[in-house]
Amino acid sequence: MTWLGSARRWWVAFLAPSFVLLIIFTIVPIAAAGVLSLFQWDLLTDPEFVGLGNFAELARDRQFRSAVVHTLVFIAGYLPVVMVVGLSLALLLNRRSRLAGVSRVVFFMPVVSAWVAVALMWRWMLNSRFGVINWMLGLIGIEGPQWLFERGWAMVSVIGVSVWKDAGFVMILFLAGLQAIPADCREAAFVDGANPWQTFWKVTLPLLTPTVFLVSVILLINSFQVFEQVWILTGGGPLESTTVVVEQIVRNAFSFGRMGYAAAMSWILFAFIFTVTLIQTRLQRRWVHYGG
Amino acid sequence: MAGSPLPVADRPLVSPRTRATVRVRRSVGWVILGVLGLTMIFPFAWSLSTSFQGTDRLLQVPPQLIPESPTLDAYRRVAEVIPLVRIVINSIVVSVSVTVLQIVTSALAGYGLARFKFKGRQVLFLLYLGTLMVPSQVTIVPLFIGMSQLGWLNSLQALILPMIASAFGVFLFRQYFLQMPDEMEEAAAIDGAGPWRTFWKVAFPYARPVAATHGILAFMASWNSFLWPLFIARDEQSMTLPVGLASLHGRYQTDWNLVMAGSVIAVVPVILVFAAMQRHIAAGLLLGGVNR
C-alpha cells in the first residue's frame, strides 16, 4: 500500500529530519570542500583565492607524494594478506559446531574494538626493549628489530596489525558467501573423487568470486582511508616511511592550519577511491561468475 | 549462522578409510584455528595483565602474564590524570544520542521513500546513495571550519549532530519497508490511523530487526570513532574515550600500565555488547560491510 489522498503529503514530514541533516552536514560540506580547495585559508586571516594553485602544489609536494606511495604500499601489503587469512578462517569455520560459534566471537573481538586501543596494545607489545614480542623472539634466539622505529619494519608492523584487526571482518563476509554455495556442488565434486584442494580451486572459489569481488571493493575503499593505526603506531615515521594520505589531511588541517590545501587533498583521495572502484567494477565481468 | 550445510564428510556415502583422512584433516584444521585464535586473544590478555601490573614491575624480564601482585593502581591513576568519569559519560552520551537519533531519522526517511509516491522520490534516493560514495574525510575539513565558526569546538553537539543523518541507515530501512506486507498498514488505516500513527504503531515495530542491527553498528562506530572527535574535542572535558586514550598515551608514553588500563576501559564495553548481540552484528555486517 502507498499512502494516497490527503495522507500523501506526509512524505515531507517523514523525510524532513533526515534530509535536512543530510544537506547541512553532508551535502553542503562536500560542495564546500570543492570551493575550499580553490582557496588558501588559515582561519585567522581572510581566505585567498588561488584557483587550482593547491592542486598544482600538491603535484609537486614531496611529502604528499610520499603519502600516496605509502598508502599504495600499505594496500599492496594489506589487501592480499587479509583476504587470504580471512578466507582461510572462513573455510575452517564453515561447519556446524559449538566451537565454530565460539571461534567466530574470538576472531571478531579485534573487529569491534576501537582502533586507538588496539594500536596502543600493539605499540606496547612491539616495544623493542620491553615488549613481549621481542622477548618471545629472544626465547628462540632471534633479536627482534625496533618494529615501529625502523624503516621497512614500521610499515610491516602497520600492515600486520591491520591484518590482525580486520581478519575477522573479512572472515564473516566470506562465511556468508560460503553458506550461499549449494551443498550439492561440493558433494558432486566429492563423489567424482576430487580432494579438498581440487574442490576448493575448481568448485568453491569460482562460485565464491562474487564475494571475493565484494570484499575486495569494500577493503580497497577502506584501506585508502587508513589512518588511526598509522597515527598511533608510528605517527607516520620513522622518516615519513609510513605517512599516509589521511594523515597528511589531518596534519595540514589540524596542525598547519592549511584548510584549502587539506580540502584539495581530500578531493584527490575521493578521486582515487572513485577511480579504483570504477575500474574494479569494469573488470569484474572478466573474472566474477554470477549465477550458474 | 543458520542454514550452514552439513559438511560433506558427515554424510554416510564414504568409505571408512576416507573417513579417517577426513578426520585427520579436520583435526589439523582445529589446530590451525586454535593457534590463530590464541593470536587473537593474546594481545587482549596481555593488555589486561599489564593494566593490573604495578609500575615497578612493568619493565621486568622475563615479563609475567599473570601479575605476581596484581593492583588497581593503574586504574586509579588514570582516573586522577584525566577526567575519566567525564570522558566515559561523554562517550556514552554521544554514542547513545547518535544511535537513537540515527535509528529514528533513518526509519522515518526510509518509510517516506518506501511507502509514498511523490515526484523526485527516485532522485532523492539516488542522492542518499551518492553520498555513501564520498569518503568522510572530504566533509571533515569544511565541517570543522563550520563548527569552529559557530564556537562549537569542544562541545558534545558538534560530536553528535553531523553523525545523525545516515544514508546507509536510510537505505536499510527503505529496503525493509518495501517488503512490508500491505495488510499491516491497511488494518491500521481501517482503524482510522493516519500515516504518522501507522508508522509508530505498525511500521516501526515491524522494522525492529533492522533497528537492532543498524543500532549496534551505529553504536560501535560512534563509540570507537576517532578522526572527527580528534578535530572537535580538544579539551579534556569534552573528549570521548578514543581521544582521551590517545592523549593519555601522548603524556604518559612509558607508563604502559596506565595506557593499557585506559585501553581496557575503552574496549570492554563494546566486546560485551558484541558478545551479547552477536547475531545481529553478523547479520548487519552482511547487509552493509561498506559502512563500517
Q: pLDDT tens for residues A131-190?
A: 999 999 999 999 999 999 999 999 999 999 999 999 999 998 999 899 888 888 878 888
Q: How far, in Å, are A81, A93, A97 from residue B32 at the CA level? A: 17, 11, 16
Contact assignment for A106 to B4 by CB distance below 8 Å: no
The whole-angstrom separation of Cα A205 and Cα A173 is 14
Residues of chain B below pLDDT 50: 1-6, 8-9, 288-292
Query: Are residue B89 and residue B138 in the same domain, yes or no?
Result: yes
Contact assignment for A109 to B245 by CB distance below 8 Å: no
User: What is the number of domains present in chain B?
Assistant: 2
Q: Does A38 touch chain B (CB under 8 A)?
A: no
Which region, left, alpha or beta, applies to residue B131 given φ > 0 means left and ψ of -120 to 50 means alpha?
Answer: alpha
Identify whether the C-beta of residue A30 lies closer than 8 Å to the C-beta of residue A41: no
- Is position A5 within any domain? no
- pLDDT on residue A225: 96
Query: Are residue B231 and residue B114 in the same domain, yes or no?
Result: yes
User: For residue B260, what are the domain limits?
Assistant: 76-291
- Is position A31 within any domain? no
Q: Which residue of B has its CA nearest to A255?
A: B231
- Is position A51 within any domain? no
Q: Which residue of B has its CA nearest to A116?
A: B242
Closest-CA residue to A107 (of B73, B195, B156, B275): B275
Q: Tell me whether residue A209 is exposed, middle or buried, using C-beta atoms within 10 angstroms of its C-beta: 0 to 12, 13 to 18, 19 or more.
A: middle
Contact assignment for B46 to A132 by CB distance below 8 Å: yes
Residues of chain A below pLDDT 50: 292
Identify whether the C-beta of residue B137 lies closer than 8 Å to the C-beta of residue A249: yes
The C-alpha of B87 sits at a distance from chain A's nearest C-alpha, in angstroms, of 15
Contact assignment for A14 to B29 by CB distance below 8 Å: no
User: For residue A72, what are the domain limits?
Assistant: 62-287
- Is position A48 within any domain? no
- Is position A39 within any domain? no
Of residues B112, B141, B275, nearest to A14 (C-beta): B112
Query: Are residue B140 and residue B216 in the same domain, yes or no?
Result: yes
Contact assignment for A92 to B13 by CB distance below 8 Å: no
User: Other CB atoms closer than 10 Å to residue A245's CB: what's the count?
Assistant: 24
Contact assignment for B41 to A94 by CB distance below 8 Å: no
Write the ipTM.
0.91
Which of B32, B49, B94, B137 would best serve as a mutation to test chain A binding (most A beta carbons within 10 A)? B137
- Is position A102 within any domain? yes
The C-alpha of B82 sits at a distance from chain A's nearest C-alpha, in angstroms, of 16
Q: Does A90 touch chain B (CB under 8 A)?
A: no
- pLDDT on residue A257: 92
Residue-wise pLDDT for B152-162, tens only, equals 999 999 999 99
Query: Are residue B166 and residue B218 in the same domain, yes or no?
Result: yes
> Nine-digit cell at A182?
549449494
Residue B134: give its domain's CATH number.
1.10.3720.10
- Is position A122 within any domain? yes
Query: Are residue B41 and residue B158 in the same domain, yes or no?
Result: no
User: Other CB atoms closer than 10 Å to residue B179's CB: what's the count?
Assistant: 8
Residues of A in contact with B63 (CB under 8 A): 130, 132, 135
Query: Are residue B129 and residue B271 in the same domain, yes or no?
Result: yes
- Is position A81 within any domain? yes
Query: Are residue B196 and residue B81 in the same domain, yes or no?
Result: yes
The whole-angstrom separation of Cα A171 and Cα A84 is 10
Query: Are residue B116 and residue B44 in the same domain, yes or no?
Result: no
Query: Are residue B40 and residue B100 in the same domain, yes or no?
Result: no
- Is position B60 within any domain? no
The single residue listed with the C-alpha cell 588561488 is: A50
- Is position B1 within any domain? no
Residue A230: give its domain's CATH number.
1.10.3720.10
Which of B13, B101, B138 would best serve as a mutation to test chain A binding (most A beta carbons within 10 A)? B138
Query: Are residue B152 and residue B29 in the same domain, yes or no?
Result: no
> Nine-digit cell at B220?
560501535
Q: What percent of chain B has pLDDT over 70?
A: 89
Closest-CA residue to A247 (of A236, A257, A238, A237): A236
User: What is the number of domains present in chain A?
Assistant: 1
